[in-house]
Chain A
Amino acid sequence: MGSGASTHHHFAFQNAEKAFKAAALIQRWYRRYMARLEMRRQCTWSIFQSMEYAGQQDQVKLHDFFSYLVDHFTPSSHSERDFLNRMFTEERIPRDSEVEKCSDYESIEVPDNYTGPRLSFPLLPDHATALVEAFRLKQQLHARYVLNLLHETRKHLVQLPNINRVSTCYSEEITVCGDLHGQLDDLIFIFYKNGLPSPERAYVFNGDFVDRGKDSVEILMVLFAFMLVYPKEFHLNRGNHEDHMVNLRYGFTKEVMQKYKMHGKKILQRLQDVFCWLPLATLVDEKVLILHGGVSDTTDLELLSKLERHKIVSTLRCKTRKENEKQAEEKGKAKQTSSAGSLSPWFLPQSRSLPSSPLHLSSHKTHKAGRSSSVPCSTPLDPRGLSRQARRSVDLELERCRQQAGFPVITEKEEPWVFNPEADSAAGELLEASQEEWRQVLTVFSASNYYAVGSNRGAYVKLGPALAPHIVQYQANKATHMLTMRQRISRVEESALRALRGKLFAHSSDLLEEFKKHDNGNTGSITLSDWAAAVESVLHLGLPWRMLRPQLVSSSTDNMLEYKSWLEDLAKEQLSHENIQSSLLETLYRNRSNLETIFRIIDSDHSGFISLDEFRQTWKLFSSHMKMDITDDGICDLARSIDFNKDGHIDINEFLEAVRLVEQSCSEGDAADCPQATNTKGSGSWAATEDSLVSVTQVAS
C-alpha cells in the first residue's frame, strides 16, 4: 500500500515537474518570438520615419531651387521669362471684391438629380451632423455648397485673432486633436468615440487637416461647418499643410481637382485665402498653448499675436525680385519693424531678403537633435503637457524642459504616435501627474495607420478639470483589430521594405560607385559590413542596415555580396517600363516629388497638362541646378516618349505614372492611385485586397 501510494505520488510529482518545465520552455520560446517581432516593428518604424524626414529635406531642396532661380536666373528669352513669371506669380484675388465672391457660388446651379448633402446658412448644428453622416456614406458635397461654406468660413475667420483664447468655464472639457491628413475615418471615429462637438464639448484641431489622405476636402468641410455652428467651442489652428504650395506636393491639390473637375480651381483659390486666415494658435485658460509645429526657445507669444497672419501665404513661396525691391523701399520708409509680419515666408533658414524671424516654428521634424521646447515669454504662463513618446523620451524632454522657465504647450509634430502594444487601445492612459507637470510638451497626432495600415494608432487628448491631460488612442480600421500583432507588423514591414527598396533603386548609380570604392581588388564582391557602410553613406537614412540586410539582400555567400547583380535584381524588381532608359528613370524617380510639384505650379490652370516645351525648360533648369548629368537630347527623347498621344502636351499624371515605380504607388499610401498600379506581382495584390482586409491573412504558405 505504502509503496504503491508513494510511487503514485512519485509519478505525479514527476509529471507535475515535467509540465512545469514544458510550460517554461514554451514561454521562453514565445517571449523570444515576441521580442524579435518587436525588433522588426521598430526597424520598420525607423524606415518610415527616416524616409519621411528625407522627403521633407527634399522639399527644402526644392525651395532652394526656387530661391536660386529667383536670384540667379536671367531669362534669356521671352518664353523663359513668361515661364518664370508663371512659376512665381501668385494669383491673388483682390480682397475687397466681396461682391465678386458672392456671385461666385450663387451662379452655380445644383442639378435636380443631386442627392448629396445640402447646406443653408446660417448653419445649424443639425446641418453639420448631417454633413458628417453624408460623408460617412461617401457622398460628395456639391461645389456650390463648398464655395458657399468657404465664403462663410472666411467671414468668420477674419474676425478671429491670431491666438484664440479659450476658457474652460463654458465647456467642461476640451479635446485636442492633431494631424488628420485627409483621413476622414479617423475624424469620424473621434466624433463617434468622443462625441460630436457641442457647447459642452469643445474641440481644438491643431492643423494639418489635408494632404496625403484621400478625404481632405471632406475633413475641411466638416471642420469648417462645426466651427461656424459652435464658434466659441470649436477651434482650428493652421498647420504647415494649410498652405497651397505644400498641397501641390502632397496631394490635396490633386484631390480637389479630381473631385471637382469644373470648379476645382476656384475652390483652390478660395481655400488659399481661407488657409491664410486660420488662426495660428489656441490658448486655454492662459495655461496651455496649442500650436502646430512646436516651439523653440525663442517663441514669443506677443509677437505671434501681432503678426499679420493673413499675409503669410505660404512657407515655401519666395518673392520675385520685383517684390524684393519693393519691400526694400517700403522698409526704408516705414519706421516700425513689424518685420515678421510682412510678406515673408516663415522659416527660410537662409533667406537673404528678410530679417531673420524670431519665430523658429519648424515644420521639419527635429528627428535627431533635441529641440528646446520651452520659452521665455512675456506673459507669465505655467507650462504644461507631456511628451507622448516612449517613457525614455518623456524623461529626456522633461529634463530639457525643466531647465528653462517654461511654457505649457501641446504642439503638433510630424511624428505619429508610437504603436504601443502595451497601452490598451480603448482606455486612455492617464499620464502621471506626479512628475513635474509644469514645463512639458505633448505631441498629438491623430491620423492612425498613417504610413500603412496597421502602422500606428492615432490619439487625441482631453483636457479635463485642472487641465489634466487624458490621452485616448485608437486605430480607425476595423480590420486591423482582427489581425494579430504578427500580421499587422508583417504587413507594415512589407510596405516599409518596399519603399526602402525603391529608394535604393533610386540611388543605384551612386551606390555602384560607392561599392566599387570598397572593392579594392575589383573582384565584384564586397563584405556585408562594407555594404552596410556604403549604403548608409549614400542614403543617409541612419537605419540599422545590418539588421535589415536579410530582408534586402537575398543572396550572399560567405558574408560577401556580389553587388552588381544585387543592383540589377533591384532594378528588375522595380522597373515597369523598359522603354525608358534605366539611369534616366532612376534620376527622375529620385526627384519625382519635386518634379511633380514644379509641374503643378507650371500648370497654373490646373488642367493636368503641360506643353512639351515647358517640360523641357523645367527639366533643364532643374537639372542644371541639381547638377545632374543629363543631356538635352535625353530630355527631349524622354519627353517625346511620354507624350503618349503625340499632341505636344504631356499629361502630368501619365508622366508621373511612367516614372513611378511599380510598387511605390502603393507604399506612398496614395490610395487613389493604388488600384491603378499596373504591377501584377504579389505585393500589388496586397494593395488590391486592402478593401477586403477581413479575410486576408499574411501567413506564408
Chain B
Amino acid sequence: REIGTIIRSLGCCPNEGELHDLIAEVEEEEPTGYIRFEKFLPVMTNILVEKRYRPIPEEILLQAFEVLDPTKRGYLSKEELIKYMTEEGEPFSQEEMEEMLSAAIGPESNFIHYRDYITMMVIDEN
C-alpha cells in the first residue's frame, strides 16, 4: 500500500488499476506484502523516464467536474458528489469520501464550488 504513496509523491498519477498492475510487477513471487527496493528501483526509474502516469492538468480536472455538472451551475451538491465518487469510476472508500468532503465544504454548506476547490487544492500542493 505504501508503494502507491511513494509513486504518487514522486510526481506520478496512476489510477488504482494501474497501481495494482505496477505492484504485481514488483512484488515477490510469493507475495509477502513487502516490496524489495532492488526490484522496485528499475521499474520506477522506467516510469519516470517514460513519463508515465502524468499528473492531471488543472483544466482537465475542471472539465471533469463540469461533466458531472452538465447544467453548469458551477457547483455540485454534496449528495451528487458522494454518488459519483462512491459509485462511479474507481469508487472511494467511506473514509476517503469523508476526508474529501471535509476539505471541500464547510459543515453547514451543502455545495461544492468545484472551481474554488480545485484552486485551493492546487495552491496547497505548491
Q: Do A and B bind each other?
A: yes
Q: Is the interface of A mostly helix, strand, loop or mixed?
A: helix
Q: Is the CB of B9 within 8 A of A33?
A: no
In the complex, which of the residues A25, A27, A34, A39 contacts B99, with contact meaning CB atoms closer than 8 Å? A34
| Closest chain A residue, CB of each to CB of B120 | A699
Judge if A189 is at the interface, Cβ distance under 8 Å. Answer: no
Judge if B49 is at the interface, Cβ distance under 8 Å. Answer: no
Beyond A20-B88, A33-B121, A699-B124, whether A25 also contacts B8 by CB under 8 A is: no
Q: Is the CB of B4 within 8 A of A22?
A: no
Residues 28-44 of A at the B interface (beta carbon under 8 Å)? 28-36, 38-39
Q: CA A109 – CA B102 in complex, angstroms?
A: 54
Judge if A103 is at the interface, Cβ distance under 8 Å. Answer: no
Q: CA A595 – CA B78 in complex, angstroms?
A: 56
Q: Is the CB of A19 within 8 A of B13?
A: no
Q: CA A436 – CA B73 in complex, angstroms?
A: 57
Judge if A24 is at the interface, Cβ distance under 8 Å. Answer: yes
Of A115-123, A259-267, A484-492, the one touching chain B: A484-492
Judge if B103 is at the interface, Cβ distance under 8 Å. Answer: yes
Q: Is the CB of A35 within 8 A of B67?
A: no
The interface size bin for chain B is 35 or more
Residues 483-513 of A at the B interface (beta carbon under 8 Å)? 484-486, 490
Q: CA A699 – CA B14 in complex, angstroms?
A: 27
User: Which of A25, A392, A700 is most buried by chain B, counting CB atoms within 10 A of its CB?
Assistant: A25
Judge if A422 is at the interface, Cβ distance under 8 Å. Answer: yes
Q: Is the CB of A26 within 8 A of B102?
A: no
Q: Is the CB of A27 within 8 A of B90?
A: yes
Q: Is the CB of B125 within 8 A of A36?
A: yes
In the complex, which of the residues A26, A33, A38, A392 contacts B89, with contact meaning CB atoms closer than 8 Å? A26
> Which residues of chain A come closer than 8 Å to B7, judged between CB atoms?
35
Beyond A26-B64, A26-B85, A700-B124, whether A31 also contacts B103 by CB under 8 A is: no
> Which residues of chain B come closer than 8 Å to A490, judged between CB atoms?
124
Q: Is the CB of B5 within 8 A of A20?
A: no
Q: CA A699 – CA B122 in complex, angstroms?
A: 11
> Residues 461-485 of chain A: 1 if any B CB is under 8 Å from the residue's CB, otherwise 0?
0000000000000000000000011
> Residues 18-48 of chain B: 1 if any A CB is under 8 Å from the residue's CB, otherwise 0?
0000000000000000100000000000000
> Which residues of chain B come closer than 8 Å to A15, judged between CB atoms?
70
Looking at the assembled complex, report how far the CB atom of A694 sits from the nearest CB atom of chain B, in whole angstroms: 12
Judge if B75 is at the interface, Cβ distance under 8 Å. Answer: no
Residues 52-94 of B at the A interface (beta carbon under 8 Å)? 55-56, 60-61, 63-65, 67-68, 70, 84-85, 88-92
Q: Is the CB of A24 within 8 A of B8?
A: no
Total number of A residues with any Cβ neighbor in B under 8 Å: 31
Q: Is the CB of A30 within 8 A of B100?
A: yes
| Closest chain A residue, CB of each to CB of B118 | A29
Q: CA A25 – CA B57 in complex, angstroms?
A: 11
Q: CA A445 – CA B15 in complex, angstroms?
A: 37
In the complex, which of the residues B9, B84, B102 contacts A39, with contact meaning CB atoms closer than 8 Å? B9
Judge if B95 is at the interface, Cβ distance under 8 Å. Answer: yes
Q: CA A607 – CA B84 in complex, angstroms?
A: 66
Judge if A23 is at the interface, Cβ distance under 8 Å. Answer: yes
> Residues 1-28 of chain A: 1 if any B CB is under 8 Å from the residue's CB, otherwise 0?
0000000000000010011111111111
Looking at the assembled complex, report how far the CB atom of A41 sits from the nearest CB atom of chain B, in whole angstroms: 10
Q: Is the CB of B124 within 8 A of A26?
A: no
Q: CA A486 – CA B125 in complex, angstroms?
A: 10
| Closest chain A residue, CB of each to CB of B99 | A485
Q: Is the CB of B5 within 8 A of A22?
A: no
| Closest chain A residue, CB of each to CB of B102 | A484
Beyond A26-B64, A28-B13, A484-B99, whether A39 also contacts B124 by CB under 8 A is: no
Q: Is the CB of B85 within 8 A of A25?
A: no
Q: CA A29 – CA B13 in complex, angstroms?
A: 7
> Which residues of chain B come closer than 8 Å to A21, judged between CB atoms?
64, 67, 89
> Which residues of chain B come closer than 8 Å to A32, judged between CB atoms?
8, 12-13, 55
Beyond A19-B84, A484-B99, whether A28 also contacts B9 by CB under 8 A is: no
Looking at the assembled complex, report how far the CB atom of B76 sits from the nearest CB atom of chain A, in whole angstroms: 10
Q: Is the CB of A38 within 8 A of B5?
A: yes
| Closest chain A residue, CB of each to CB of B5 | A35
Beyond A22-B65, A24-B90, A25-B60, whether A36 also contacts B100 by CB under 8 A is: no
Q: CA A327 – CA B10 in complex, angstroms?
A: 61
Q: Is the CB of B103 within 8 A of A20?
A: no
User: Which of B14, B90, B100, B124 is most buried by chain A, counting CB atoms within 10 A of its CB?
Assistant: B124
| Closest chain B residue, CB of each to CB of A482 | B107
Q: Is the CB of B5 within 8 A of A27?
A: no
Looking at the assembled complex, report how far the CB atom of B97 sits from the nearest CB atom of chain A, in whole angstroms: 10
Q: Is the CB of B8 within 8 A of A31?
A: yes
Q: CA A101 – CA B70 in complex, angstroms?
A: 81
Looking at the assembled complex, report how far the CB atom of B35 sits from the nearest CB atom of chain A, in whole angstroms: 12
Q: CA A159 – CA B81 in complex, angstroms?
A: 64
Q: Is the CB of B61 within 8 A of A25?
A: yes
In the complex, which of the residues B16, B34, B65 contacts A31, with contact meaning CB atoms closer than 8 Å? B16
Q: Is the CB of B67 within 8 A of A18?
A: yes
| Closest chain A residue, CB of each to CB of B63 | A22
Q: Is the CB of A28 within 8 A of B15?
A: yes
Q: Is the CB of B64 within 8 A of A22?
A: yes
Q: Is the CB of A486 within 8 A of B67?
A: no
| Closest chain A residue, CB of each to CB of B84 | A23
> Which residues of chain B come closer than 8 Å to A39, judged between CB atoms?
5-6, 9
Q: CA A24 – CA B19 in complex, angstroms?
A: 14
Q: Is the CB of A22 within 8 A of B56?
A: no
> Which residues of chain A come closer than 8 Å to B85, judged between CB atoms?
23, 26-27
Query: Which 10 A-B residue pairings sit nearest by Cβ, starting from the closest?
Result: A24-B89, A35-B8, A23-B89, A23-B88, A39-B9, A22-B67, A22-B64, A484-B103, A28-B15, A32-B8
Known contacts A22-B68, A25-B61, A484-B102, then 5 further A-B pairs from the complex at CB < 8 Å, ordered by chain A residue: A19-B88, A22-B64, A23-B84, A28-B14, A31-B96
On B, residues with C-beta under 8 Å from A are 4-9, 12-16, 34, 55-56, 60-61, 63-65, 67-68, 70, 84-85, 88-92, 95-96, 99-100, 102-103, 120-121, 123-125
On A, residues with C-beta under 8 Å from B are 15, 18-36, 38-39, 392, 421-422, 484-486, 490, 699-700
29 cross-chain CB contacts under 8 A: A19-B67, A19-B88, A20-B89, A21-B67, A22-B64, A22-B67, A23-B85, A23-B88, A23-B89, A24-B89, A25-B60, A25-B64, A26-B64, A26-B84, A29-B13, A29-B61, A30-B100, A31-B8, A32-B8, A34-B96, A34-B99, A35-B8, A392-B34, A484-B103, A485-B99, A485-B102, A486-B124, A699-B120, A699-B124
